[in-house]
Structure 1
Amino acid sequence: MNNSVMLKKATYHLWTFTISKLIASFGSQVYSFAISFYILQATGSAKSFALNLICNVLPRTLAAPFAGYIIDKYPRKRIAIISQIAATLAIGGLLLVSVTYGLSLTAIYITTCILSLTSMFSSVAFTSSITGLVDEARIQKAMSLNQMSVSFAAIASPAVGGLLYGVISMPLFLVLYMTASTIAIILEATMKFTLFSNSKAETEEKPKESMWQAMSAGVSYLKLQPILMTIIWIALLVNFLFSAYQVGYSFILIEKLKMLSTHFGFTEGAFAVGMLLLSIYLSIRKEIRFPLLISKRGIILMGVIMGGATLPLLFSLSYNVMFGYFIILQLGLGACIVVINTPTQVMMQKQIADEFKGRVFSLVETVAMALSPLGMVLYGFLYDVFPAEWVLLLSSGVFLGVVLTLLRPAVIRKVHPELAVEQTTKKRAEAF
């Protein structure tokens, strides 16, 4: 296959991947909205609702390391398609139960667990295959379009879900989700996951290595990559400390500042809008030269926003000013998430050997989520005992300290040595 044909195929992959991701994400989030609404209406129990959330998080956290092994061992296209088929069948099973016996919480929880697992397998398989699907020059564009699809789905799905839930029955709702999932399967089947891959990992199975040996090899590979270990430590600690904002945000706005539910919904939507806008920007601009430096700045701004959320608690603001202030904070926070994640993911795509990508990306996901539940429990307790502003301000200070320590200038220069050369050249030019 000549270069021009490969580039045309890569362009096809770029848009097919985006459309497939948009359809799958949109269907998944509309389904989540409708099922959550159904559980609350049917039971009126916060515990039943929370249990469904746990069914969505826990299975993927526990299975992620094993998923990495499977994704590195077997063809990733096969895994992505099988995962999407399994998701479609799970929804079909829930549809059959709802028509035959009526929806039950047990059936919903089982379906949520299956969808959590299939989503994780599909996501890691695609993330591990980006360098095989598109040319190196457009990796940032691919990652940005992926994020853009997720952000757009996050913005539109509550409105669409609310509209459909009030108009159509749950069985018809599930039929529409199955249809969307089937379209995603068809699109994925037309893609060549090894278009730019130099590795044989996609085309050959390697049965000689046991699962534990392969997982150990993935951990050993990580230990030999200092920058990847730094990213993992940052993901672990930042996600843990950011739980202070995740828990405190709703508590502060609803309990302390008495914001109306509709206005609170607008501030939540602003977060997704911020992500969408930055994703669009990164998809059309040239690749970021110093990704870790840009990510560092994004994380610092994220820490500042955390602390900034306490301002209406420390100073008296009018309701409208407070509402506008939190809209701006959430827009900025959504933008920060994209600025942090996209350049880092592009750098990891280029640095990680293809045969280890599944294991590395799944380990990063596992570690990033590992302390979040603990953080939410801890901060839930702290907000009940101590003033919210001091909990958030102290957490913000520790957050910034962690970032400035782990991503100190020496670490940045080690990852981007050309940055030090550029800064030296600039100083010399200024001297003259």
Structure 2
Amino acid sequence: MDEAAKYKKATYHLWTFTASKMIAMLGSHVLSFGISLYILAMTGSATSFATNMICSILPRALVAPLAGYVADNYSKKRTILLAQAGTILTMAGLLLYTELFGMSVNAIYVTTVFYTLCSAFSGVTFTSAIATLVNPERLQRAMSFNQMSMSVAAVGGPVIGGMMYGFFSMEVFLIVHMIAYAIAFCLEATMNFNLYSTRGDNTKKEKIWKGLVSGFSYIKQHKVIKVVMWLSLWINLFFSAIVVGGTYVIIELLKVEPTHFGFVEAAGALGMLVASIYFATRGEIKVPLRFSKFCLLLLSSSLAFAVIPLVTDFSYSMIVVFYILLYFIFAIFEMGVNMPLGVFMQKLISEEYRGRVFGLMETMAMSMMPIGMLVYGILYDMLPATGILLVTSAIIVVMTLVLLRTAVLREAHPEFYDETTMAERVAN
């Protein structure tokens, strides 16, 4: 295939995978909203709700490295289509069970586990395949479009789900989800996942254990990749302070109504959407690790600003407006950290190891989420929220300065720092 034809196909990929991701994620958010309300209405138990959340996190964290191995050693297209088909069949199974025996919480738990396993394989494989779907010059735009589709789905899913919940049964939610994934399946079946692949056709497949071990060895040999993975782990742990504390501070301590808190959370999704559009329309960040470091320092500072309404005499309306603006800015800085890092990692990691590296990163990140939520849940019950947020902000600043020190940035971007050093010598 000549370059003009490849560029045209890459443009097709850019829009097709954005549409497929948006449709699938929209269906997923609609179903998630409906199931959450259904469990609470059926049981009235927070424990049942939390159990379903564990079923949606733990299996993915455990199986992500295996999904990465499969992505690296088998056809990405086949893996994604099989995972999507598995999702559709899982929902069809729950629909059939409901028709025969009626809906039950245990059936939802089992369905959530299988759905999460399928999502792990499709998600990790899709992430590792982005760099082979589009040309390197449009990699940042592709990842921005990917994030944009998820942001739109995150905003639209609960809205659609809320409108449907009052008028339709749970079976309709399942059918909508199946239709969404069926459309995504048809779109992804037309894509060429080897368009910009650099791997030969005769690449030898590794056995599972050897493949996982070689993935670990590859990470150990690359200092910058190790730094980014540790950074991802600690970020997911310490930013649980705002995931848990945001709701606790705003609703419990400041007594903001849940309806108004919904506007605060929507502002975060809107901020991600705005940042996605920005990255999609601008050129690629030249020194991504330094850019992410700067945004992470701003992000940790915005975490500290969250205490201002706790120590000042703001009116109710000022509190709501303050947190709407803070969550909007918070989301923009978060995208400023994630987007350049994502593009950098796509280009830095060799194609034959991308799946395993991203799979391990996902395992580390997702395993930190429940730990962070548990730790901060206990801390907020024992200590003042003001102190927790300020100390966490300071810890993230120190962690950023240590992990992303100049020596690491110079190793990650030698071409930039060598040019800078030469320019300084000439000036002197």
The answer to whether 1:397 aligns with 2:394 is yes
* Cα distance in 2, alignment partners of residues 239 and 132 from structure 1: 28
Deviations 1:37-92 (A, max 9, x none): 11111111111111110000000001111111111111010000000000000111
* Cα distance in 1, alignment partners of residues 155 and 23 from structure 2: 14
Q: How far did residue 152 of structure 1 move?
A: 0.5
Contact 2:291 2:340 in 1 (8 A): yes
- What letter is aligned with 1:278? A
* Cα distance in 2, alignment partners of residues 130 and 358 from structure 1: 11
Question: Counterpart in 2 of 1:24?
Answer: 24
* Cα distance in 2, alignment partners of residues 378 and 292 from structure 1: 29
Question: Counterpart in 2 of 1:291?
Answer: 288
Q: Check 1:73–1:424 CA distance in 2 against 1; reply closer, same or farther (3 A cut).
A: closer
* Cα distance in 1, alignment partners of residues 167 and 278 from structure 2: 36
Which of residues 212, 216, 239 is equivalent to 2:213?
Answer: 216
Contact 2:68 2:358 in 1 (8 A): yes
* Cα distance in 2, alignment partners of residues 158 and 16 from structure 1: 24
Question: Counterpart in 2 of 1:195?
Answer: 195
* Cα distance in 2, alignment partners of residues 8 and 129 from structure 1: 18
- What letter is aligned with 2:367? A
Contact 2:30 2:173 in 1 (8 A): no
* Cα distance in 1, alignment partners of residues 57 and 421 from structure 2: 47
Question: Counterpart in 2 of 1:268?
Answer: 265
The answer to whether 1:101 aligns with 2:89 is no
Question: Counterpart in 1 of 2:330?
Answer: 333
SS in 1 for 2:256: coil
Question: Counterpart in 1 of 2:241?
Answer: 244
> Over the residues paired in the alignment, what is the CA RMSD in angstroms?
1.5
* Cα distance in 2, alignment partners of residues 252 and 176 from structure 1: 36
- What letter is aligned with 2:127? T
SS in 1 for 2:195: coil
- What letter is aligned with 1:71? A
Contact 1:74 1:204 in 2 (8 A): no
* Cα distance in 2, alignment partners of residues 172 and 29 from structure 1: 14
Q: How far did residue 333 of structure 1 move?
A: 1.3
Matches within 5 A, 1:26-65: 26-65=26-65
Q: How far did residue 206 of structure 1 move?
A: 4.0
Deviations 1:192-240 (A, max 9, x none): 100111213xx56745x32111100000000111100000111111211
Matches within 5 A, 1:74-113: 74-113=74-113
* Cα distance in 2, alignment partners of residues 42 and 74 from structure 1: 42
SS in 2 for 1:192: coil
SS in 1 for 2:111: helix
Consecutive unaligned residues of structure 2, counting only runs of 5 or more, are: none
What is the count of residue pairs matched by the alignment? 428
* Cα distance in 2, alignment partners of residues 29 and 204 from structure 1: 40
The answer to whether 1:254 aligns with 2:251 is yes
Q: Check 1:41–1:113 CA distance in 2 against 1; reply closer, same or farther (3 A cut).
A: same
* Cα distance in 1, alignment partners of residues 14 and 283 from structure 2: 16
Question: Counterpart in 2 of 1:419?
Answer: 416
Question: Counterpart in 2 of 1:120?
Answer: 120
What is the TM-score with the length of structure 2 in the denominator?
A: 0.97
Contact 1:10 1:134 in 2 (8 A): yes
Which of residues 344, 352, 356 is equivalent to 1:347?
Answer: 344
* Cα distance in 2, alignment partners of residues 422 and 311 from structure 1: 42
The answer to whether 1:282 aligns with 2:279 is yes
The answer to whether 1:356 aligns with 2:353 is yes
Which of residues 383, 387, 390 is equivalent to 1:386?
Answer: 383
Deviating beyond 6 angstroms after TM superposition, the runs of 4 or more aligned structure 1 residues are: 428-431
- What letter is aligned with 1:253? I
The answer to whether 1:302 aligns with 2:296 is no
